[in-house]
Amino acid sequence: MANTYIQLPYSQGENNLGKHNDGFWSDALKRYLLSLNEKGVAIAARNCTLAELKENGLEVSLDYFLRTNFVKYPDIKQAVTSVREDLIKTGDFEIRTVSQEGRGKNPEWIFVTNDFS
């Protein structure tokens, strides 16, 4: 599918919601996954600071990727519902629950369904 611009509604902080046009191109996520040699990554959308995401071992996740590459305020969750829905609408991604046998709640991951080939 086509490279699609995905808006990040909280990239400038909660007080500036809707007052900007910040976001990223969907192919950037494909390139990120390709650089990891992976087809998917945990979403890990958490209401916590960037440092807390890293402390919890979630530096390889969609939320961490968005916070560290595309936003002014990285301590605000970016992998919100609208962002996930927009990624799915591209036709290039899908969200699935991944089993974490015996490790608590099974997390959602985002997978690329159409790569660059």
pLDDT of residue 11: 78
How many domains in the chain?
Answer: 1
Q: Is it the case that residue 13 has pLDDT exceeding 70?
A: no
Asked if residue 42 is part of any domain, the answer here is yes
pLDDT of residue 89: 95
Site of tokens 């611009």: 5
Quote the domain boundaries for residue 61: 5-112
Asked if residue 35 is part of any domain, the answer here is yes
Asked if residue 9 is part of any domain, the answer here is yes
pLDDT of residue 106: 74
Site of tokens 């916590």: 48
Query: Parallel, antiparallel, or unpaired: how do β-strands 93-97 and 5-7 relate?
Result: unpaired
Asked if residue 46 is part of any domain, the answer here is yes
Q: Is it the case that residue 45 has pLDDT exceeding 70?
A: yes
Asked if residue 117 is part of any domain, the answer here is no
Residue pLDDT, tens place only, 60-95: 999 999 999 998 889 999 999 999 999 999 999 999
Asked if residue 33 is part of any domain, the answer here is yes
What distance in Å separates the CA atoms of residue 25 and residue 70, rounded to the nearest whole number?
10
